Structure 1
Amino acid sequence: MTTIPFDNSYVRLPDRFFVRRAPTPVAGPRLIRLNRALAANLGMDPDWLAGPAGVGMLAGNSVPEGAEPIATAYAGHQFGNFVPQLGDGRAVLLGEVVDRDGCRCDIQLKGAGPTPFSRRGDGRAALGPVLREYLVSEAMAALGIPTTRALAAVATGELVVRETRLPGAVLARVAASHIRVGTFQYFAARGDAEAVRTLADHVLARHYPEASFAEHPYGALLDGVVARQADLVAAWLLVGFVHGVMNTDNMSVAGETIDYGPCAFLDTYDPRTSFSSIDAHGRYAYGQQPGIALWNLTRLAEALLPLLAEDEEAAVAAAEAALAGFGPRFEKAYHDGLAHKLGLSADRDGTVALADDLLARMAKNQADFTLTFRRLCDAA
């Protein structure tokens, strides 16, 4: 059997961070798509993964040597309402590998069966959402936008019951990590200051090692997450991407786009566009995404308060200073990107006003977002 070079770190954290749970086997695994280039970069043999043993592993029918499958614990604000326990209800984290670029990556099976966090769900995924996440996450990667990646999509040979019976599938997902704002909230809500510190130290070492050497490492950690999220949301807006469910459990502290549930790219440019049938009030509409990102980051700052300073007033001041950096960072990234799309210098007087005027005219005339910029290229 081909070995996968697992090098697991999250499973070394205290037991209350996760539950050990192997994936549930499926009846008839069949490979739909394998991301061969990604597999090779992860140190995996694409030919083996495409064979019977590899497909069985990708479907959850076998646990490879070195894997230590777990379901992770987290909480989250869902449409503004706090849920103290969510967790991986249909995903199993097999383990971590270090890719050829030296980056640590999680290998997770989404749709791998029930876990203690399933909340009476079946733990499975339908084929349609699996294919959507595969396509959209790989499109985002090709556009240069930080994102989780799709390693493989595997049909299960079973049906899942939603509004109707649908073919089931498993997505093998790759991420810098699956640690979310909601992971910090989970422990903060329980008053578990030791776990918050342990998690922060893990995130510092894994995602923000340079912040470990700062005078105030946890403040530097918050600064780092704020900066990455500001850049990420600016990148979303620049390609017309709408994340339909920006709950705090769907915000990665690594700064990657994660959890492609309801989502889409704009056709007609309208900042009010949303892509979730349950988002009746447009909380996560295209134009609301920067504000929601800051709202989510504020929840992270609240969880980190005990680490920012011993004095509560000083901790709040440190959190507010970090959060204040979001707006300027986002505006610069967004307007620099708009200038680039227009082929203009971001520092040139009038560029921002020109770009804003164009967007206003696009909204008024119901212009297609992507095609407008493509046709400007043709005209030029």
Structure 2
Amino acid sequence: MTLTIPFDNSYATLPAGFYTRLDPTPVKAPALVAFNRPLADELGIDTRDTDEADLTAIFSGNAVPEGAAPLAQLYAGHQFGGFSPQLGDGRAILLGEVIDRHGKRRDIQLKGSGPTPYSRMGDGRAWLGPVLREYVVSEAMHALGIPTTRALAAVTTGEPVFREEGGLPGAVLTRVAASHIRVGTFQVFLARRDLASLRRLFDYTRARHYPETETPAQLLRAVIARQARLIAAWEGVGFIHGVMNTDNTALSGETIDYGPCAFMDRFHPDTVFSSIDAHGRYAYSNQRNVIVWNLAQFATCLVPLHDDQDAAVEEMTRDIHAMPDLIARERRAAFGCKIGLAEAAPEDQPLIDELLALMTEGQADFTNTFRALADGDARDQVTDRAAFDAWAARWQARLETEEDPTATMRAANPWVIPRNHRIEQMIEAAVAGDLAPFERLMDALATPYEAQPAYADLTRPPTPSEVVQRTFCGT
């Protein structure tokens, strides 16, 4: 085997109670679907003398590379508000970590790599559709400049995976993350009253992600700041995560777990796509509330680590209560840029809100409307032209103080996004053996802020027959 991954594993040095060591389960007839060579180079993985057979063997789980320390991580989590005291990697194996070319520690994880002790009677596998969805959407999010896990490889297994739809082609995704430490990783040790492990996890997390912090309260504030920016960034591109459980809230501040996720076409703040979100808990506009709730659970985990717990509760409660205002400021900054304001002030908020209300009423396409602001033809995107004209007059007056509002808007408003109907069409083609739509999507989404006439069809909203009403997690 010629592929060398420069592993430098640290999570595996934590006590055995943090994980279960095991190898991926081999598959029957793996075949490489995609390999992200630029990301591999960024990770310090030299693939120049590596053939496809080696890549396929490693990223299917059929061969464990030298230096790896395969393990399934333990965590708990609130799922749709209900607490599960033990979850864990039910279909994922952390191969190990590398220090990338920028000096940052990154996890390399196989997702869909077979059962683990945390599979809860599941098969530990993934099918091709969700694997390609996560590959496309995570790489699109990276190109959009939003903190996210990345996709290194996708491999089919040559084995069927059985879901409600019957037998589907199995696949494995190789995911790269700043880490896989979640709110739920802390919750499992709090639930067990294992304060020694909780302290060890705090020390590890602080050293890995927030070395500038010293106390648990300082760590909480640092996580709050990153998550506030992340949620505002999601809203700025019309992204709906779909399953914001505490076990899907990464303390690194990255977007993680692209299950029933989606980008909005027609704008409405109450939009929900996830098939399992019956009550809209994770609707577009509720994501900013849910993240506050999730970090309140994280704060609860940190309280026992303080000598003066009453003082800690008071301090952290204050920080949690301040979080909605912080998110509002981050959101105002994001949407201010979307309408050409390099630094939006509080008095600019009504201008933003009025446009969103016009878009809601007129069922305007989220991405195309904001992009059209920069191109001068946004009026065509809304139904109430008179109301838009009145808004536009106030908007243009405000832009007179801006240096280059068009450049600000084009840098904040993507020209193309991974639309739901295009993803579904791509998956359908891939299942039939045609990877051309997948490759075309990847090419277009690599530079989402640039107008690319050759991909103009990918900017078109869905026709009524193409509308995707529900998305699924794929487990």
Q: TM-score range by the shorter chain?
A: over 0.9
Which structure 1 segments of 5+ residues have no match? none
TM-score, structure 2 as length reference = 0.77
Q: Say if 1:84 and 1:348 are closer, same or farther in 2 by CA, change over 3 A.
A: closer
Give the Cα–Cα distance (whole angstroms) in 1 for the partners of residues 255 and 345 of structure 2: 31
Which structure 2 segments of 5+ residues have no match? 378-475
* Equivalent residue number for residue 370 of structure 1: 367
The superposition leaves residues 219-276 of structure 1 with CA deviations (integer Å, 9 ceiling, x where unpaired) of: 1111111111111000000000000100000000000000000000010111111121
The alignment status of 1:165 with 2:167, answered yes or no, reads yes
SS at match of 2:160: strand
Alignment match of 2:296 (pick from 285, 298, 301): 298
Instruction: Return the letter of the residue paired with 2:354.
Output: D
The 5-angstrom pairing of residues 183-332 of structure 1 reads 183-212=185-214, 217-307=215-305, 309-332=306-329
Instruction: Return the letter of the residue paired with 2:254.
Output: E
The alpha-carbon deviation at position 2 of structure 1 amounts to 3.0
Residues 227 and 325, structure 1, Cα contact 8 Å, conserved in 2: no
Give the Cα–Cα distance (whole angstroms) in 2 for the partners of residues 19 and 12 of structure 1: 12
Give the Cα–Cα distance (whole angstroms) in 1 for the partners of residues 48 and 89 of structure 2: 30
Q: Say if 1:4 and 1:85 are closer, same or farther in 2 by CA, change over 3 A.
A: same
* Equivalent residue number for residue 38 of structure 2: 37
Give the Cα–Cα distance (whole angstroms) in 1 for the partners of residues 16 and 28 of structure 2: 31
The alpha-carbon deviation at position 345 of structure 1 amounts to 4.2
Give the Cα–Cα distance (whole angstroms) in 2 for the partners of residues 50 and 335 of structure 1: 49
SS at match of 1:344: coil
SS at match of 1:199: helix
Q: Say if 1:317 and 1:172 are closer, same or farther in 2 by CA, change over 3 A.
A: same
The superposition leaves residues 153-211 of structure 1 with CA deviations (integer Å, 9 ceiling, x where unpaired) of: 11111100001110000000000000000000000000001111100100000000111
* Equivalent residue number for residue 175 of structure 1: 177
The alpha-carbon deviation at position 49 of structure 1 amounts to 5.5
CA RMSD of aligned residues (A): 1.2
Query: What percentage of residue pairs aligned between the two structures are identical?
Result: 58
The superposition leaves residues 293-337 of structure 1 with CA deviations (integer Å, 9 ceiling, x where unpaired) of: 000000000011112x32332121021122133223211111011
* Equivalent residue number for residue 78 of structure 1: 79
Give the Cα–Cα distance (whole angstroms) in 2 for the partners of residues 348 and 118 of structure 1: 49
Give the Cα–Cα distance (whole angstroms) in 1 for the partners of residues 161 and 297 of structure 2: 35
Residues 26 and 61, structure 2, Cα contact 8 Å, conserved in 1: yes
Q: Say if 1:14 and 1:349 are closer, same or farther in 2 by CA, change over 3 A.
A: closer
Alignment match of 2:356 (pick from 359, 367, 379): 359
The alpha-carbon deviation at position 376 of structure 1 amounts to 1.2
The alignment status of 1:141 with 2:142, answered yes or no, reads yes
The alignment status of 1:11 with 2:12, answered yes or no, reads yes
SS at match of 2:212: helix
Q: Say if 1:346 and 1:192 are closer, same or farther in 2 by CA, change over 3 A.
A: same
Task: Detail structure 1 runs of 4+ shifted over 6 Å in the superposition.
Answer: none
The alpha-carbon deviation at position 50 of structure 1 amounts to 5.2
Instruction: Return the letter of the residue paired with 2:6.
Output: P
Give the Cα–Cα distance (whole angstroms) in 2 for the partners of residues 149 and 238 of structure 1: 20
User: Which of 1 and 2 has greater Rg?
Assistant: 2
Q: Say if 1:109 and 1:320 are closer, same or farther in 2 by CA, change over 3 A.
A: same
Residues 289 and 324, structure 2, Cα contact 8 Å, conserved in 1: no
Number of equivalent positions: 375
Residues 4 and 65, structure 2, Cα contact 8 Å, conserved in 1: yes
SS at match of 2:97: strand
TM-score, structure 1 as length reference = 0.96
Instruction: Return the letter of the residue paired with 2:87.
Output: L
Residues 243 and 275, structure 1, Cα contact 8 Å, conserved in 2: no
